[in-house]
Amino acid sequence: MKKLFFVTVVFLGLTVAHGQTTFQKTYGGTYLFNEAYSLQETNDSGFIVTGYTRSFGAGLEDVYLIKTSPDGSLQWANTFGGTNVDYGTSVRQTNDMGFIVSGYTSFGVGWWDVYLIKTASDGTLQWSQTFGGTGDDKARSVEQTNDGGFIITGQSSSFGAGDNDIYLIKKFSDGTLQWAKTYGGTDGDYGLSAKETNDGGFIITGIIFGFGSGGYLIKTSSDGTLQWSKVFGGTGGGVGYSVQQTNDGGFILTGSSGNGAGYSDIYLVKTASDGNLQWEKTYGGWGYDYGQSVRQTNDGGYIIGGYTNSFTTNGFNDFYLLKTDSNGVLLWSKTYGETNGEDGFSAEQTKDGGFIIAGIINFGVGHNNFYLVKTDNNGNSGCNETNPNTIVTTPSTTVINPSTQSSSGGIVSNPPTQTGSGGTTTTFCYMGINDVSYNNLITIFPNPFSTQTTLHTDNHFHNATFTVYNSQGKRVKQMTNISGQTVTISRDNLPRGLYFIRLTTPSPSKGEGWGEVVATGKLIVTD
């Protein structure tokens, strides 16, 4: 009876742990272009990714939408488009568990038109629309709004005051148009990211050329009426690629700037709710570094995804992932990739406390595939990664309040979208499980492992005990009197399989043999 009670306690303790899967995988076809620009973790802890493909579909390029399981295994891959060229630029899961995809297409009344695709949860097409005028109109970002509709931003040369203006389109849930606005000056302006704000309005970031090149930040009311606009950049210029409202009601913007350590550095700008600058930082090296995506993390800091060539030896790019605290202080940075170049475009924190970044991997001339890197909470993925010596600077930025103009316009059509499917997966790193609790202060990496792994804590072990149990609850390994920050765990003679671990520290008040459980989790031993 005592043995049964002991086993029960062990397994109850294990249920509180939070797993962190890690992997690097590619998706696409053979010897043709397959490029990913946007991803999101889905309600089932898998991932939805969009971009375009030349390997499959009806035309020269088609919108490519893939769905994976939490470990990166491909569940389905679908294409959407016509006989010419169609690109997917942004994807979000919708309230009905389906997906909304934005992009641009050769369907419609202009050379390029905004393209909006709605699918069911299995990727089946429900409806598609184009929107624009006789010029070039492209969508770069889509989000579902609190009323169930959609907000889309991009660029338009069909309407507005300049060669290109920021284009903001509000749709009902069925794709019916509510309103469409343009914003900008007399030169070229491009919208790259838009989010709904706490007050029901919208925040937009992008590129502006008419008021001193820089990162453009625009705030509107719920009907698209301009409330304020700002430009950040200074003499080195700047670009805004991604924006999000922060927990304090302000905004965080990332992009690139020439005011840092190299030719172009990742640019991070924090503003108050009225757009006034609170602080700014650049991150990078001697070369070109671009921040393409920013999200606030559970600890109030930020994760930035992009790409760099400052820390490569072959002149190509690598994925670049950076974690900061709430004030922009760099906590860690990582690069990921092989030898022919990788561009990262979309990153976010995942439910397990780790991070995911998506983009493009180049296998040679004329052969790109989707590339997904899933890491633990410290940015570890298992292979093909480095810890670059990122340089952080605080630039002297000029803030401009431009005379932004606004107009409206657009024609809706329902194109004869064709659908297809296809896709293969390659794996660079085997799926890992960093499945330990205690507020993510303890990690085990690599996991799975074949010969040895490392247990690490941000604090210090002091006379701790590390115990390993097999799947039947039998103790098969134990290490005692552990002290310090790092412990090497050897496989010894453990057979291949799944094991459960328990880390305890002494409890002087209860005497020898009693302890406080500070971490529980899983280990996987491979051949």
pLDDT tens digits, the chain, 527 residues: what are they?
A: 332 222 222 222 222 334 578 899 999 987 678 999 999 999 999 999 999 999 888 878 999 999 999 989 999 999 998 888 999 999 999 999 999 999 998 887 767 889 999 999 999 999 999 888 888 889 999 999 999 999 999 998 888 766 788 899 999 999 999 999 988 877 778 899 999 999 999 999 998 765 555 678 999 999 999 999 988 876 666 688 999 999 999 999 999 988 888 889 999 999 999 999 999 999 999 999 999 999 999 999 999 999 999 998 777 999 999 999 999 999 999 999 988 899 999 999 999 999 999 999 998 666 899 999 999 999 999 888 999 999 887 776 556 566 566 556 666 666 666 666 677 677 766 555 554 444 445 677 777 788 888 887 766 777 888 888 886 667 899 888 888 878 888 998 888 887 878 777 775 443 443 445 566 777 888 87
DSSP letter for each residue of 79-110: EEE-SSBEEEEEEEE-TTS-EEEEEEES-SSS
As to burial, measured by CB atoms within 10 angstroms (0-12 exposed, 13-18 middle, 19+ buried), residue 508 is exposed
Q: Tell me: the pLDDT tens digits for 276-293?
A: 999 999 999 999 999 999
Specify the fold of 2-14+433-525. Immunoglobulin-like (2.60.40)
Q: Which residue has the tokens 């103790």?
A: 475
- pLDDT at position 148 is 97
pTM comes to 0.78
CB 216 within 8 A of CB 226: no
What is the Cα–Cα distance from 105 to 85, expressed in whole angstroms? 6
Single-letter residue type at 139: A
Cis status, amide bond into 448, omega within 30 of 0:
yes
Domains 2-14+433-525 and 35-407 share a fold: no
DSSP of 247-308: TTS-EEEEEEESSSSSSBEEEEEEE-TTS-EEEEEEEE-SSBEEEEEEEE-TTS-EEEEEEE
Domain ranges of the chain: 2-14+433-525, 35-407
Between CA 193 and CA 90 the distance in angstroms is 10
Three-state SS for 191? Answer: strand
**Rounded to an integer, what distance in angstroms lies between the CA atom of residue 82 and that of residue 125?**
14
Nearest in space to 376 (alpha carbons), one of 4, 93, 20, 26: 20
The reported pLDDT for the residue numbered 439 is 40
pLDDT at 208: 78
Query: By CB neighbour count within 10 A (0-12 exposed, 13-18 middle, 19+ buried), where does 263 fall?
Result: middle
Question: For the domain with range 35-407, which CATH number is right: 2.120.10.30, 3.40.50.970, 3.10.20.740, 2.70.70.10?
Answer: 2.120.10.30
Residue 290: the pLDDT is 95
pLDDT digits (tens, 9 = 90+) for 378-435: 999 988 899 999 988 777 655 656 656 655 666 666 666 666 667 767 776 655 555 4
**Sheet harboring 251-257: ordered strands across?**
238-245, 251-257, 265-271, 277-284, 391-393
Q: What is the dihedral of CA 158, 163, 166, 171, to 10 degrees?
A: 0
At 490, list the tokens.
């050897």
3-state secondary structure of 470: coil
DSSP-assigned states of every residue in 396-432: ---EE----EEE---EEE----EEEE--EEEEEEEEE
Which residues touch 275 (CB under 8 Å, ≥6 apart)? 217, 219, 228, 229, 230, 251
Residue 10 has φ and ψ, to the nearest 5°, of: -60, -45
What does DSSP assign to residue 352?
A: T
Beta bridge partners of 104: 87, 114
